[in-house]
Amino acid sequence: MSDAHAKPVRHKTPPIRRDWLAKTLAGTVLGATLALGVSGLYSHLHAGLALPTRGQLAMWMVPPIWLGALSGVYFFSSGLRAWLWLGAGNALVYGALLALPQTG
């Protein structure tokens, strides 16, 4: 930009950290646990369905959630943020699982 106009110095957004290993691991591991947790919530909330049907649906929803998390993980600005956000998501889901009344 031109220097002639003395604009107030804007904080440039820091570049997105690549953190390939940290992000990929976060997506692979926490994405998988998140998907399993969500499938558990689904199963709890649809206890009326027969187990063979409910179990198959719960299995089928795991890969889309897992790989959705894995393929979105590179949007995080750093590996640490990826771990924190996905970790928080996991805590939320597993917290809900524990809070739900145990049935069956």
Partner 1 sequence: MKADYIRIYKSVHTWTGLISGMALFIAFYAGALTVFKEPIVRWVSPPSQARLVPLADAQTLIQQALASRPDAAKSFVIHVRDDESVAQRMEWQIRDPQADDHDESATRRYGATLDAAGQAQFQELNPSILGEFIDVLHRVVGLPVDSDPNRWIMGVIAVLYTLALVSGVVVLLPSLVKDFFALRVGKNLKRMWLDAHNVVGIVSLPFHLVMALTAVVFAYHDQIYGLQDRLIHNGQWASAFQRPAAQSGAAPSRDPAHMLSPPALLDTAQAAAPGLRPTALEYQNVTGPRAVVRVWGKDPTAVAPRALGGFIALDPYSGKPLNTDYLPGRQDTPNLLISSFFALHMASFGGSAVQWMYFLLGMAGAWLFYTGNLLWIETRRRKQTRQNPLPPAQRLDTLLMAHATVGICLGCVCGISLTIVGGKWLHGIVQDMRNCHMLLYYAAFFGCIAWAFCRSPGRAAVHLLWAAALLTLCIPATTLLAWLIPSLGLWGHTSAATLGVDLTAFAGALCFSWMARATARRLARGPADSVWAGKDSSTY
Binding segment for partner 1 (CB under 8 A), chosen from 2-10, 52-60, 80-88, is 52-60
Q: Could you say which of 3, 6, 11, 52 contacts partner 1 (CB under 8 A)?
A: 52
User: Considering CB under 8 A, how many residues would be counted as binding partner 1?
Assistant: 31
In this complex, which beta carbon is closest to partner 1, that of residue 74 or of residue 87? Answer: 74
Residue 45 touches partner 1, criterion: CB under 8 A: no
Residue 64 touches partner 1, criterion: CB under 8 A: yes
- 77 contacts 23 by C-beta, under 8 angstroms: no
